[in-house]
Amino acid sequence: MTPMNLNTIESQVHARIDAMRAEIIRLTQDMVAYKSVNPRFMPDPENSDETGVQDYLESKLNSLGLPVTRWEAEPRRPNLVGLRAGAGGGKSLAFNGHIDVVPIGDLDGWNHDPWGSDIVDGRLYGRGAVDMKAGIAAFIAATEAIINCDIALNGDLQLHIVVDEEAGGFAGTRDLIARGYRTDGVIVAEPTSGLIDAAEGGLSWLRVTIRGRAAHAGWRFAQIYPQPEADAENSEGVNAIEKGVRFVQAVREFERDWALSRQHPLMPPGITTINPGVIVGGVGLGDDGLPQITSNPAMIPDICVIDFDFKYLPTESFDDVRAEFEAFVSAFAQTDPWLREHPPTLQWHLSNIDFPPFSTAPDHPLIDAARGANRALGIETVLTGKRAVTDAAFYAGAGMTPIILGPAGEGLHGDNEYVELDSLIDTAKVFAGVILRWCGVAEQ
């Protein structure tokens, strides 16, 4: 395919997308209207309408002539994969988007109905508008425009529309990948304001358990002041919470050292955070890994459990950062006579939260394809890194090459979420341009 042919074909597709503008906006509005809150965040999970939006999208994909594979990793939580089969000889591409959304929070903070899909001043408002139903609408629209222009592709095009991203992807993308879906490249259509997230750090949840020795708090004074020999046996309580506080302070210094000594060109300094998000102290370790008694301050606690959100750089391996942190914990224990004999225990991948990192090279052909698609629209290509974690991690962990690219908007996970409609249309055009360049246009 010559550049002139590509330019001609791409111009036809862009014109088709412009003609579809009202239809693309309506598709986004219709999706937002479904209350597809992730059921893991709901008192009554059956009130989530993930099924409704997936029924709607399955019908949409079928209307385009795309065969759709549908399954439920969990009851009433369907995933969809639409396929535009290629003629052969081209690279395969998948788009990924999730239909589950976070709760709306306090309704009083919203100026628009969270499920109303109101359009005001070029913005479409609603929960999930930009995170990330607009991204799904954009890649469906790009696919539809290519089909309507009667363009055949060399490589396969897959549309992965999943649930559960907001709660870790267990029943969504992780399950999809476990079922064997593989492509040469992946675009996760999370909102990026048109920037390309070419890197994402790794993330694991970590539980550190520090043990002490339980005793009656009435004899705590005997640990502070010298006591007669008769009171010695009553002074042997070891407060695990106090040990835990010292440990958190030490982690803070370790975290700072990491921030000063390691960086990635697309990530902000200090992104390698080790956040102590949950601390529970008490007496007696239960089967759930937490203290059994947490409501009696008259006892010197023998258990302190600290759960960390542990991040590392896109170019680092989990095994390496794990070994480094465990060495730090071991060194910390040596500074305390009690912990030297009773060192903290570590549980990695707490709640099975484990997001592999990725760092796609700036000159990778998938990014080159996005550059070309941007250039055709007069858009500057800017590479950056994702501060949070997304389903792109799981594709990378399975050996695929992802980037993250999507429309502009604000308010995701907050009040008055919206997507900018002009950005929605531009994103559909960029997606179409990437498809043409990456999958290749078949001779007809």
Active site residues: 100, 165
Beta carbons of 206 and 347 less than 8 angstroms apart: yes
Query: What are the C-alpha distances in Å from 90 to residues 160, 206, 439, 443?
Result: 19, 42, 5, 12
Query: Residue 72 class from Cβ within 10 Å (0-12 exposed, 13-18 middle, 19+ buried)?
Result: middle
> What residues contact residue 244 under an 8 Å CB cut-off, 6+ apart?
210, 279, 281, 304, 306
In the beta sheet, which residues pair with residue 211? 303
Q: What angle do CA 265, 267, 269 make, to 5 degrees?
A: 95
Cβ-based neighbours of 397, under 8 Å, separated by 6 or more = 356
- Scanning the structure block, which residue is given the tokens 């002490």? 212
Q: Find the angle CA(273)-CA(193)-CA(420) to the nearest 5 degrees.
A: 130
Distance CA(125)–CA(102), nearest Å, equals 15
Name the DSSP class of 130.
I
